[in-house]
Amino acid sequence: MALTRRDARLPAVPGKVHAVIGMRRAGKTTFLRQLLDERRATGPVERAVYLSFDDDRLARLELEQLGFLLEEYYRRFPALRGPDRMSFLLDEIQLVPGWERFVRRVLDSEKVEPVVSGSSARMLSREVHTSLRGRGMATVIRPFNFREFLRHRGEEPTHEPLRWTPAERSLVEKRFREYLVAGGFPETQGLPPTLRIELLCSAISRTPSCSPPCRWRPTPSASATRTRGRSFPWIPASSRPSTRAAARTWVTRSRPPC
């Protein structure tokens, strides 16, 4: 199945480690695989290498073994060492302690374009800049924007909005309503609402014991106490809002304890 092309692009800045970051299930691994296909389409396939450290065969890999992997690559393809730059795509790299030192060394000593990706807190934009000592450039992968949402469905407009027919405009408006409801997480597209919510909760929840608001369902006791049509079972009765505006504020700021 063809992968939906993303609008994100690596910045064209030489001499940097490209860090592909973003929340879980937003499509970082898919983006790396698309980069792999693009690099291999414009040159020898051996010039682009993808490794996922989430693979059980690479589990518990130590820092010095990253260097062994690179050396073994050059032993297999010695003619590729030196003349042109190769792409080294490293997914879930945070699973290798000390990976920052390896990519900094490779960046300084070899003609390699390192592209790393991961989902942990250590792969946040500010952490990447700190750990790579200013050598990193972050590319954030987010859920589908609306254009990508249409592209995923094979309905991306091919011309400007002013040239849309009434039928095309109505279709885009219909899809926009669906986008506002379903969101842009790639793997939730086309799922029924119950499965979509369950999948999103599993991706967002940090611990199994945490009960995100999307999992909450009113109980008879909770339904009995309402404020202008709103239920706030986790807020003490004395603190519940008394106006609609206050209710909206509580909804956005309050959540069940985790």
Given pLDDT bands bounded at 50, 70 and 90, which one contains residue 149?
A: very high
* pLDDT exceeds cutoff 90 at 174: yes
Higher pLDDT, 129 or 85: 85
pLDDT at 129: 67
* pLDDT exceeds cutoff 50 at 47: yes
Backbone torsions φ then ψ of 8, nearest 5 degrees: -65, 145
* Lowest-pLDDT range of 31-35, 90-94, 102-106, 203-207: 203-207
pLDDT at 121: 64
- State the average pLDDT for the chain: 80
Q: Map residue 14 onto helix, strand or coil.
A: coil
pLDDT at 235: 47
Higher pLDDT, 206 or 208: 206
Specify whether the CB–CB gap between 47 and 39 falls below 8 A.
Answer: yes
Q: Give the pLDDT confidence of 91-114 residue by residue, as tens digits.
A: 999 899 889 999 999 998 999 999
Q: Give the pLDDT confidence of 179-192 residue by residue, as tens digits.
A: 999 999 999 999 99
Strand partners, 20: 117, 139
Domains and CATH numbers, the chain: 17-142 (3.40.50.300), 145-209 (no CATH)
Residues 6+ positions from 105 with CB-CB distance below 8 Å: none
CA 157 from chain centre, in angstroms, equals 25
* pLDDT exceeds cutoff 90 at 7: yes
* pLDDT exceeds cutoff 60 at 249: no
